[in-house]
Amino acid sequence: MRRNNSQMNLYGKGSLPIVGCLVLFSVVLGTTDLGFIPVPTAAKSATIMHLPTIVASLLEGWPAGMIVGAVFGLTSMYTPSSAVASDPLVVLLPRILVGITPYLTYRWTGMLGEYSRLGLAAVVGTLTNTVGFLGMAWFLGYFDFETIVDVAWKHGLPEIVVAVLIVLPAVVLLRKAQVWIETVLD
């Protein structure tokens, strides 16, 4: 039985392996530091760890996105590079939201083409991560506003480009993998 690409849920036969792989990928990215790219700014590193969360959200819906996002946040929190990175309000809450906003963006942009919807969802998910993390860090007094703006420009724009370049093909390929898994399991 072939699944409609716009039908996202956590109950298909191919869902558990895909979500499990994305959770594992988040853990590996976080615990090996492969998900954090060192940069000479106040934030100390740019991240690609939000990408599995965005992919989970687009493939399986917001519940899966929230699960992978929570793993992303917990991994970040328990392997902190600074005091701000160990604060659950700064690290955990925005990362869980990264699991929701790409899904909603994808659903609400149904009038656009498929690739545009996926690209826009990747942009929104990345902005949720960047703005959520930096906004909470500013709100809780970890960084001043000038530092936040500097980090947002230096990290946010490259992270958006990388997100679109990785999320688009990843979602397309994993959708094909889901169809194959469901065929094998039937």
Q: What tens digit of pLDDT does each residue of 147-170 get?
A: 899 888 888 888 898 899 999 999
CA 154 from centroid of its chain's CA atoms: 19
> H/E/C letters for each residue in 123-177?
HHHHHHHHHHHHHHHHHCCCCCHHHHHHHHHHHHHHHHHHHHHHHHHHHHHHHHH
What total number of domains does the chain contain? 1
Residue 78 covered by a domain: yes
For residue 46, list its beta bridge partners.
37
Q: What CATH code is carried by the domain that includes residue 31?
A: 1.10.1760.20
pTM: 0.86
Residue 71 covered by a domain: yes
Domain containing 176 equals 15-185
Residue 5 covered by a domain: no
- 17-46 burial: b if 16+ Cβ within 10 Å, else e: ebbebbbebbbebbeeeebbeeeeebbebb
pLDDT attached to residue 151: 85
CA Rg value for the chain: 16
Residue 85 covered by a domain: yes
Return the closest-CA partner of residue 61 out of 103, 97, 111: 103
Nearest-5° angle of CA 91, CA 93, CA 95?
A: 70
pLDDT attached to residue 12: 53
Residue 149 covered by a domain: yes
User: Which residues of the chain have a pLDDT value below 50?
Assistant: 1-8, 10-11
Q: What is residue 38's three-state secondary structure?
A: strand
pLDDT attached to residue 176: 87
As to burial, measured by CB atoms within 10 angstroms (0-12 exposed, 13-18 middle, 19+ buried), residue 150 is: middle
Report the C-alpha gap between 139 and 134 in whole angstroms.
8
pLDDT attached to residue 156: 84
Residue 7 covered by a domain: no
pLDDT attached to residue 118: 97
